[in-house]
Amino acid sequence: MSLLRWLGISSLLGIVGVLGFAYLATRIALAGGGDAVRETQIAVVIWAQVVLCKALLPHVWITIAVCRGIEGRLDGRVPSVGWLVIEVLGVAAVTSFAVVTLVLTADLPGLPSVSVHGAARVARTCLELTAGTALVVGVPRLWANVSRRRARAGEAAGTSQPV
């Protein structure tokens, strides 16, 4: 899978997931009615901006870049599914701390500031970020890996049959 395709598919999965959750939260608030509806909508919009722009998308891009660097050392071999799962989870877990402590807490123009206090909150945020990123990075990569293995198996089967 090309790097740009992997970045695009993973980013799109992340965006759809966050916006789907935001839509669901807004619909639940609308069902409740009352004064809290507008406040909930504002809070959900701010949350989605922070999660997408300061956490999920930067973490997805960093994870894909590191995974691509690791896979570049495989000399064209197709890694096993188990190896890919461990790779994506490991890279996502290690890089999540950098994203939480450096990117999420950075003061970026146009985005609300975020502060994460205490080791337990940092660990929980890293775990949540790792889970989301591993899902949106791992699914397209595993799909491409399985497709590539099937194509190679088909080529091998086709060349070994008598003409």
Amino acid 86: pLDDT: 92
Each domain of the chain, given as residue ranges in start order, spans: 3-153
Tokens of 161: 């049959």
DSSP class of 34: S
Q: pLDDT tens digits for 138-148?
A: 999 888 887 87
* 112-134 mean pLDDT: 91
Q: Is the pLDDT of residue 75 over 90?
A: no
137's CB contacts (< 8 A; 6+ apart) are: 6, 10, 60, 63, 64, 67, 88, 92
pLDDT of residue 163: 43
88-117 tens-digit pLDDT: 999 999 999 999 999 988 998 988 888 888
Higher pLDDT, 28 or 121: 121
Q: Average pLDDT, stretch 51-64? A: 92
Residue-by-residue DSSP string for 94-163: HHHHHIIIIIITS--TTS------SHHHHHHHHHHHHHHHHHHHHHHHHHHHHHHHHHHHHHHHHHHS--
